Structure 1
């Protein structure tokens, strides 16, 4: 009787395990379901459908930090709604999940964010990198929307629903020179050069920790625009940058620089993070709990207007930051 009882228990256990295990002939139990949002923004609203994301890669590293699984999706609607992936070799365990997703042709992009080459069962988490595709530490093209996420190690098993909150890496920066119309010399588009110097955050690892490279120079990603109004001339430039990283005591590493090509002199050297910090004080969308870096990461676009005096010099005690006029007590930017 005992033998029969144990036999029944054995069959019952096998049956129960069979219901929850992954069988090669039936992949229905071999799936993981991924869903996504992009709420890490100023509005704290899901704006994933505005990002035109049509390429996604999911990387799963085991507890020894070795890449075990790699999934791809190349469809915008599928990414926005979420999807299932199946793998009959999948083994439940502790995994860190890293996600990278990008728009492939957003605004006729020529530049891109890249992901280091990986090999299953070989590539380590510390070897894994996202990086900006720049040439000789120069970037001048429109950048694809690039959103990433890194989930901490967690137990992952068959049939699990995994929700991923994405963070946006690329930034858009608009710069204006506001010049009085009564300056004697005629203003031309090529009279000034604008660029942004940053301590190149050219790569991030699978933990989204930045690795600093040499300086990178961002040039306008669109032609300069010159607008004549009744009492002023406005010269506009638009930039796309990678993630901006605030480092206390190193604010001079990230600057907006304007050069007067006629005199070959630098007209403006303004510390970007000081401008952002001063402007954030006026932004009612900024949560009181956010530090400066979180505010920088959540805001997708920045606008800075610099005013030029009648003698052609920079009025450095007044800058318009994201629509707010900010007065600076000291002129040392």
Structure 2
């Protein structure tokens, strides 16, 4: 009995050692012939493509999906991570792929309700062309069934690293994927020249653009025109004093906030405000006006770089006694711009 028990224990320990050895050599990769457990591949995400030129990844991103495609564009690997781990100092994502060259694509999101849809890919079947991102929309009951966006969009980020080579030679490799933010907050402020209060309920605020479908490299794809509506409207009080001293005058203002998709130079989004009668109070090309103050920030930027870095636009319009835009000036992100020959 004692001899049999001893033999049984030896067999058990042998099986455990074999199992442990297999686990160490597999490294969670199915094809063991291409596995080198001494090599560790990781990806770092960086979001410094903003107006502060500082990495805000830990503060703004709450979920990340990394996709890897081989040299032929076939989908071979995906990893998702979300939550507090992304805010850890020095966070990097482990990537379990065979040595080789890959096209890495990332879609990342901030906090909020889901407002974008990304298709589920099939390993070895799907291609990089299948990886697009579509903004959710609703359709009005009107005869033409216009597509509308009426919610505060969840922050969306994109990143891509082409021809990333993971080598057998190094013991550790860290690739960096830089992110671009694709969502923008547009805040509209209406103020009477006379200082009288503005009733926000007398106006409708919209932005029209066809920028709701993006492909794997963040270029816009053909899409239907979207009408963005303000997801928040409010009335407020602004304390005004041009001398810069303690405020002495309170002015009633109307405030509307809209969130729109990526602004690109090839498109022409239109910001409009209409009154209760359906008459246009103003209608302007949003990008042209957004770029009016680019020079105040950095004249060396391209227009597209500025649009990608800047994700908040506050525009203050002044109304005359007839609730029409007095188009002699506008305040954009605290900069006052004097306008000439403006056409609505």
Q: TM-score, normalised by structure 2?
A: 0.78
For residues 1-333 of structure 1, the aligned pairs below 5 Å read: 23-24=25-26, 28-29=37-38, 31-51=40-60, 53-78=61-86, 81-85=90-94, 87=96, 90-103=97-110, 106=111, 109-136=112-139, 137-157=147-167, 159-181=172-194, 187-198=198-209, 200-227=210-237, 230=249, 232-247=251-266, 251=268, 254-261=269-276, 263-281=277-295, 283=296, 285-286=297-298, 288-333=299-344
Aligned length: 294
Relative to structure 1, is the Cα distance of residues 327 and 55 closer, same or farther in structure 2, using a 3 angstrom cutoff? Answer: same
Contact 1:111 1:141 in 2 (8 A): no
Structure 1 unaligned residues grouped into runs of 5+: 1-21
Residue 315 of structure 2 aligns to a residue in which SS? strand
Contact 2:191 2:198 in 1 (8 A): no
Residue 223 of structure 1 aligns to a residue in which SS? strand
Shift of 1:86: 5.2
Relative to structure 1, is the Cα distance of residues 28 and 203 closer, same or farther in structure 2, using a 3 angstrom cutoff? Answer: same
2-side partners of 1:132 and 1:121: how far apart?
26
Alpha-carbon deviations, 1:56-100, whole Å to 9, x = none?
11100111001011111123333653234253xx32111100011
Shift of 1:257: 0.6
Contact 1:195 1:257 in 2 (8 A): yes
Contact 1:30 1:86 in 2 (8 A): no
Shift of 1:225: 2.7
Shift of 1:37: 1.4
Shift of 1:314: 1.2
Shift of 1:29: 3.3
Relative to structure 1, is the Cα distance of residues 157 and 75 closer, same or farther in structure 2, using a 3 angstrom cutoff? Answer: farther
RMSD: 2.3
Residue 322 of structure 2 aligns to a residue in which SS? coil
Shift of 1:170: 0.9
Contact 2:27 2:37 in 1 (8 A): no
Q: Which has the larger radius of gyration?
A: 2
Shift of 1:160: 1.9
Alpha-carbon deviations, 1:202-252, whole Å to 9, x = none?
1221122211312111111223334477574310011111111122xx53x
Contact 2:44 2:92 in 1 (8 A): yes
Q: TM-score, normalised by structure 1?
A: 0.81
Residue 201 of structure 1 aligns to a residue in which SS? coil
Residue 225 of structure 2 aligns to a residue in which SS? strand
2-side partners of 1:148 and 1:223: how far apart?
29
